[in-house]
Structure 1
């Protein structure tokens, strides 16, 4: 029987993903030999060293979890920079076609799943009536459920008997379901019951991200992705949790940083503006006056 052209294409795409991972890592992934349903591939647990390299857009999804001591990790796409810490119980998710530069400060122990869009969509179809879902990028994201499933898959990757294969296929479906529910556009397609606000960990994660990236452009889509919500639900939930819109909170953080810089240094106002995310002194001055009732120059003069 001739081989299905789609299967051949999927296998080539998975090989391409694995090849790119081998290229940027000092130690290649410890790949299990079995080719699973939907051309999914697993790795066993393995260690690689620090990483400072760019990963081009790929034609499949990469999901990973961590087993060793925490390490700082950064994913940068253009001016958008996501900073986190790898540790057990967290996952990193690189969606299909995602790209960017990766920086990992030291060696880590990991396991990966290389997941084709077809395998993910086959699990999404019953939930979305066939509407396509897209995964969200994640870096060092707290998800003990997905991390535990990935750990089980890595353990079973070392076994090749029939019972292990059955276990792996079912565990992969569970992983796909968890990714769809918590790390995809599924909530936009099929919203859950309205939330009264964000959980404490969501508020901390979003506001810490704002504080760490004040010099950058920060959009609602990336903040919503950090909280694991659609843009619409995130705006409402953030306001219910904090009493402010995301824009109001971000502006307040920027003005607090600006006041501190103006008070303790002779840094030019233009440089202060750039440091808190304003591309021009006039935009910064207007925002500063709205919040404080003074221009930056007036504020500095009265100190």
Structure 2
């Protein structure tokens, strides 16, 4: 596969040849690299954009980095893992065994579009974070990878996934004015997984705060606090994001009417569905479906 100049610039640091079947996508303000990555080394390098790296299936990684004004740090991890690497941070990664790798490169202007809405501030400072579990980012990266396996990635699908990923990063990995960086804790992996599985299985039902809290045996108020610590979203926000993800899959089937999509995804009315979809995806469901059709023609 011939590399574009943009691809060569962003993939600086790759010490070994890239897999022949690797995938590259340039979006509006972001780029995506995806591959079944063999054992390989990415030598120390920096980017002028935010890099989000996700290793799956599982990965075995060793990372080294130097945050501004700090000594070199390192970490080794086996399992699904996420790294959030701000622009200008020197870093190096060794992939100890074959794994699914997704790099998402996000340019500053893309993040700044969301910053004022999410953080109510005009600037941002991201906290470098290496080799941690983040189930939401892992799921979003996996969806990008699965969409890319045939060599194509729809621009609207990619933009929606990266927008949700950025909202997660801004809520969970950004230093707010006058605050320390957000520290993940919350429900813990087992309880978070239980809630997420319950949500996925019952998207078309009324997923109230009380019903979600009951799944893990907590009071609604305590659950809401811990859930936001775990995911960066309120329960209502997270449910809406999952319903829209479900709707995007159904919209690929041209024979499913919009009213049926809205009902199967748990929206109380078609107008509520359209409003929520436009807010989270940036376009109406009808336009999204049209963009899918045009990309396949």
TM-score norm. by structure 1 comes to: 0.51
Retained in 2: the 8 A contact 1:44–1:154?
Answer: yes
Structural mapping, 1:215-234, within 5 Å: none
Retained in 2: the 8 A contact 1:68–1:108?
Answer: yes
CA distance 1:157–1:120, shift in 2 (3 Å): farther
SS at match of 1:149: helix
SS at match of 2:100: strand
Structural mapping, 1:102-251, within 5 Å: 102-158=93-149, 164-186=154-176, 188=178
CA distance 1:153–1:61, shift in 2 (3 Å): same
Structural mapping, 1:53-64, within 5 Å: 54-64=43-53
What residue in structure 2 maps to residue 46 of structure 1?
A: 36
- CA distance in 2: counterparts of 1:72 and 1:186, whole angstroms: 29
Query: Residues 116-138 of structure 1, C-alpha deviation per residue, up to 9 Å, x if partnerless?
Result: 11111212121234421122222
Aligned residues: 185
- CA distance in 1: counterparts of 2:61 and 2:24, whole angstroms: 31
- CA distance in 1: counterparts of 2:17 and 2:85, whole angstroms: 19
Query: Residues 255-290 of structure 1, C-alpha deviation per residue, up to 9 Å, x if partnerless?
Result: xxxxxxxxxxxxxxxxxxxxxxxxxxxxxxxxxxxx
What residue in structure 2 maps to residue 35 of structure 1?
A: 26
What residue in structure 1 maps to residue 84 of structure 2?
A: 93
What residue in structure 1 maps to residue 214 of structure 2?
A: none
1:41, CA displacement in angstroms? 1.1
1:113, CA displacement in angstroms? 0.9
- CA distance in 2: counterparts of 1:155 and 1:198, whole angstroms: 29
- CA distance in 1: counterparts of 2:8 and 2:178, whole angstroms: 32
SS at match of 1:37: coil
- CA distance in 2: counterparts of 1:123 and 1:29, whole angstroms: 35
1:176, CA displacement in angstroms? 0.4
CA distance 1:25–1:98, shift in 2 (3 Å): farther
CA distance 1:154–1:168, shift in 2 (3 Å): same
What residue in structure 2 maps to residue 277 of structure 1?
A: none
What residue in structure 2 maps to residue 81 of structure 1?
A: 73
Say which one has the larger Rg: 1
1:13, CA displacement in angstroms? 6.6
Residue in structure 2 matching 1:68, options 37, 51, 57: 57
Retained in 2: the 8 A contact 1:73–1:139?
Answer: no
SS at match of 2:158: helix
TM-score norm. by structure 2 comes to: 0.52
- CA distance in 1: counterparts of 2:39 and 2:98, whole angstroms: 4
